[in-house]
Amino acid sequence: MIYLDHNATTPVLPEVVEAMLPYFKEEWGNPSSSYRFGSKLKTVIEVARAQVAELIGASPGEVMFTSCATESNNAAISAALGAAPGKRHIVTSAVEHSSVLTYCSAMEKRGYRATYLPVDREGLLRTADLENAVTDDTALVSLMWTNNETGGLFPIAEIAEICRSRGVLFHCDGVQPVGKAEVNVRQVGVDYASLAGHKFGAPKGIGALYVRRKAPFSPMLLGGHQERGRRGGTECVPLIVGMGKAAGLARLRLPQYDSNVRPLRDTLEEGILSTIPIAELNGHKSQRLPNTSSITFHGVDSEALLVLLDKEGICASSGSACLADSDEPSHVVRAMKPDSAASRQTIRFSLGTENDADQVDATLAGLAKVVRMLDA
């Protein structure tokens, strides 16, 4: 198998599995218990919290664990809207992940107004559009750090500055850049940022939400006092340990990530674009993550292409994994190129550190073969 879908999920790192195992096998207590067998696990959770905080430039007290980034995104938007009951407007973009878009459209049904900022043909956002969209009625701006389909970077520091100057809370879906590029929430000045452990070597089922110390927060999951009263529910200690371990490894390995992955991505991309005439790159050439390549194969149905690639042992996707089972075209590519069929003819390749040059060569050969079959 050649796995080129790291923006969907990443393999669980062996060191992470090792770190988690004792908390499945021997240390299975409840951290809220009064006796030591359980309560000692509180310290374990705090170590993991500090590891995640360090990776994103936050204080440990500003990080809460969640079950996934979908929960983090929902919880942040819910908290921000709850903090400004008189305001009924949300600004987001047309290319956000479904966990933001679906939540915003649910809020529209409850009487909120949402503005979905457009992007240009390269997937870039114009900050002037944001400035024009924010009004006195705006409770929250929710914009992603980098796009999951194209890897495109939004001007996150500028966006944060606009929100600050207009007195509007800013939530950032920071799922994709973590572990692939520098993420410093304090430097940028976001109020909330969502993370998913499984995008950087932890298992699925664990996420985190950064909540800036002075940002308002009210829990979405009401129950016990876990997570300092910000999220009821007994903590899943093994997964929290796993996310902490993965965060520590991501921090150590970040300096090499770009030089390991970018050349492979570039070789793959240049190989495709130079040998397959119907191929066209989506997104900005440089303002994007070093691992992602979104390519339209004009005239070729992306789902048919993915099935044949799978037969060649190559895993890629046509967009977000969360929408892969729907028949919908990519809303990201559609927002970039509304006048073309590209949203049904696009494949996302997202590489990771365990890929190598042989796999890139094999992908180029496999791709040339299946495109020839479909383009005949």
* Residue 66 engages ligand PLP in binding (rule: CB under 6 A): no
Q: Is 139 exposed, middle or buried (0-12, 13-18, 19+ CB in 10 A)?
A: buried
Which phi and psi (to 5°) does residue 360 adopt?
-65, -45
* Residue 176 engages ligand PLP in binding (rule: CB under 6 A): yes
d(CA 29, CA 135): 49
| DSSP symbols for 225-240 | SHHHHTS-S---HHHH
Q: Site for ligand PLP (CB under 6 A): which residue of 58, 69, 247, 249?
A: 69
Which residues pair with residue 65 across a beta bridge?
A: 208
Q: Which stretch binds ligand PLP (CB under 6 A): 53-61, 77-85, 173-181, 224-232?
A: 173-181
* Residue 97 engages ligand PLP in binding (rule: CB under 6 A): yes
Residue (174 or 271) nearer to ligand PLP, CB: 174
Residue (31 or 177) nearer to ligand PLP, CB: 177
Known catalytic residue at 163: no
Residue (138 or 176) nearer to ligand PLP, CB: 176
Greatest distance between any 2 Cα atoms in the chain? 69
* Residue 125 engages ligand PLP in binding (rule: CB under 6 A): no
Tell me if 214 sits within 8 A of 191, measured CB to CB.
no
d(CA 7, CA 9): 6
Q: Site for ligand PLP (CB under 6 A): which residue of 20, 41, 52, 68?
A: 68
Q: Which of 104, 163, 315, 322 is catalytic?
A: 322
Residue 206 vs residues 68, 139, 334, 349: alpha-carbon distances, Å? 5, 28, 30, 24
Per-residue tokens: 142: 């929710």
Q: Which stretch binds ligand PLP (CB under 6 A): 114-122, 168-176, 271-279, 284-292?
A: 168-176
Sign of CA dihedral 154, 148, 248, 1: negative
Residue 295 DSSP code: E
Q: Which residues contact 30 (CB under 8 A, 6 or more apart)?
A: 38, 41, 234
Residue (164 or 204) nearer to ligand PLP, CB: 204
Min CB(349)–ligand PLP separation in Å: 15
Min CB(150)–ligand PLP separation in Å: 11
* Nearest CA among 188, 137, 194 for reference residue 164: 188
Residue (64 or 371) nearer to ligand PLP, CB: 64
* Residue 142 engages ligand PLP in binding (rule: CB under 6 A): no
Tell me if 55 sits within 8 A of 181, measured CB to CB.
no
Min CB(246)–ligand PLP separation in Å: 13
Min CB(18)–ligand PLP separation in Å: 23
Range 268-287, binding ligand PLP (CB under 6 A): none
Q: Residue 133, Cα to own-chain centre: how many angstroms?
A: 24
Min CB(95)–ligand PLP separation in Å: 10
Q: Site for ligand PLP (CB under 6 A): which residue of 119, 144, 209, 332?
A: 144
Min CB(339)–ligand PLP separation in Å: 25
- How far apart are the two ends of the chain, measured CA to CA in Å? 26
Min CB(40)–ligand PLP separation in Å: 29
Helix axes of 357-374 and 237-275: crossing angle, nearest 10 degrees: 60
Min CB(261)–ligand PLP separation in Å: 17
Amino acid at 158: E
d(CA 178, CA 186): 14
Q: Site for ligand PLP (CB under 6 A): which residue of 13, 117, 130, 175?
A: 175
d(CA 237, CA 65): 10
Q: Site for ligand PLP (CB under 6 A): which residue of 5, 173, 269, 280?
A: 173
User: What SS3 class is residue 215?
Assistant: coil
Range 308-327, binding ligand PLP (CB under 6 A): 320-322
Size of the site for ligand PLP (CB under 6 A): 17
User: What SS3 class is residue 178?
Assistant: strand
- Spell out, one character per residue from 193 to 232, where the chain touches ligand PLP: x when CB under 6 A holds, - when not: ---x-x--------x-------------------------
Contact residues for ligand PLP, defined by CB under 6 A = 68-70, 73, 97, 99, 144, 148, 173, 175-176, 196, 198, 207, 320-322
Question: Looking at the annotation, which residues are catalytic?
Answer: 322
